[in-house]
Amino acid sequence: MKSFIVDSAAFVLLAFPALFSIINPLGGAFIFLSATQGISRKARRALARKVAIFSFATLVASMVIGVFVLRFFGISMPVLGVAGGIVIALSAWKMLNAEQDTSGRESALQASADRDLESMAFYPLTMPITTGPGTISVAVALGTRGVAEGNLVLFAFQVLLTAVPMSLLIYALYASSGRLARAVGPTGTTIIARLSAFLLFCIGIQVMWGGIEALVRGLAAAT
């Protein structure tokens, strides 16, 4: 029992900071707010709940079956990095160049936005903005480590112990993104949203570049 607790604590202390640093739910909250301008608070909270649920599913699936899925389809981690990095960078670029919504939107436009944003819950708000390829790569690596240890019951517990708090944190910060924005003011919100989008763009380029480097090294080794 003691070993079970110690091993679980060691896994969480490794996995949670690694996932937190790349997901960055605080910065993501301002990106989420920027992408959901003009909708009601209730709709935003409902959308945050869906993003948190999808993020939980993505984390669990990546850690538990990610490595097997990639092997089945013959997709290497470097290729995932290149493709995912491009998607992240493009999404961030759109946010960097998006015009800020005005407060005088018509009610019909707001209702339309509510409906449209429902379809955005998974893409792009969950993938790639919240749990993108970088997160999946980290989760798959953690899953590979957990599967290699052989104790599947322990591994399942460790996965839940990591994914549940992270998903709850995502929901709490995304759902309260409006309050966070009011706390820092309109100018502060714009600055943080743009800065977060720029950092997300940099992460996308870094993930893509890491994939390219790995592909080049593999090609060089093959020749």
pLDDT single digits (tens) 60-103: 999 988 878 877 888 887 887 788 778 778 877 877 887 654 34
pLDDT tens digits, residue range 146-205? 665 667 788 889 999 999 999 999 999 999 999 998 898 878 877 877 887 888 788 778
- Asked if residue 110 has pLDDT above 60, the reply is no
Report how far apart the first and last C-alpha atoms of the chain are (Å, whole number).
50
Which uninterrupted H or E stretch holds 76? none
**110-120 as b/e: b if 16+ CB within 10 A:** eeebbeebeeb
Closest by Cα among 200, 215, 217 to 135:
200
- Rounded to whole angstroms, the Cα distance separating 199 from 95 reads 11
Greater model confidence, 186 or 220: 220
At 9, the amino acid letter reads A
pLDDT of the residue at 51: 96
Which pair of tokens denotes residue 139?
Answer: 């989760």
